[in-house]
Structure 1
Amino acid sequence: MTDREVPDWLTEMDKEIINVLGTNLILSPSIIAENIGRSREGVGNRLNSLQAGGLVRKVDRGKYELTEEGYKYMDEWSDLDEEYHPWHGKTEWELRNSDSEES
C-alpha cells in the first residue's frame, strides 16, 4: 500500500463511523449513531461527506457500507493509533494487496 495522507476534512466522528462500518456490516445512520454515542443527524451529515469522499457508499435507502478506499484509510490510521484495532472482515494482507489488484 502506498503512503497516503489522511484527508484533512476527516473528523474524529468520521473515524468513529468508519471504524463501526469496518465491522463489514451494512448499517443505518441510527444504528451507527447508537454505537458511537453521537446524534443521528450528525452521523447522517458526516456520512454524506464520507460518501462524497469515496470512503463509504450508500447501498440502499438509509443503509451504508465502507468502500475499499475506506478500509485502506482505516488500516493506515490503525497502524498509527494504538487505540484503533478494528475488525473489518479482511486480513492485513488482503488490504495491502488490494492496491496491486486494482492496477
Structure 2
Amino acid sequence: MTQADDRVLETLADSDLILSPRILSANTDYSRHYLSTRLGKLRDAGLVDRVDDGLYRITDRGLAYLGGELDAKDLEDNS
C-alpha cells in the first residue's frame, strides 16, 4: 500500500461516488496513468471494484481498511 492508495480510497469513500482515474487525478496530486496502475492493484486486493470500463468505487473491504479493521501487511500478502 502506498500513500496514493490511501488517498484514492479516502477520496472514493468521502465522495461516495463512482470515479475514473482522470477525476481522481484532478482531485489528488497523482497522474492519471499512475492512478490507473494503482487502481489495478487496489482491485486485485479487493479494495475497489471496477463497475465499468475505467470507473471505480470503494468496496466494503476498502472501507474496512480505512477504518483500521484490515492491516496493509495482510493485503499485500493476499495480492
Scaled by the length of structure 2, what TM-score is found? 0.82
Q: What is the distance in 1 between the residues matched to 2:3 and 2:16?
A: 20
Scaled by the length of structure 1, what TM-score is found? 0.64
The structure richer in helix per residue is 2
Aligned-residue Cα RMSD (Å) equals 1.1
Within the candidate set 23, 30, 48, 2:40 is matched to 48
**1:50-69 correspondence to structure 2 within 5 Å:** 50-69=42-61
Structure 1 residue 18 corresponds to structure 2 residue 9: yes
Deviating runs (4+, > 4 A) in structure 1? none
* CA shift digits 1:24-46 (9 cap, x unpaired): 11000000011012100000000
Structure 1: tracts of 5 or more residues without a match: 1-9, 78-103
Q: Tell me the percent identity.
A: 37
Structure 2: tracts of 5 or more residues without a match: 70-79
Partner in structure 2 of residue 30 of structure 1? 22
What is the total number of aligned residue pairs between the two structures?
68
Q: Which has the larger radius of gyration?
A: 1
* CA shift digits 1:51-94 (9 cap, x unpaired): 000000000111000000000111118xxxxxxxxxxxxxxxxx
Q: What is the distance in 2 between the residues matched to 1:59 and 1:48?
A: 13
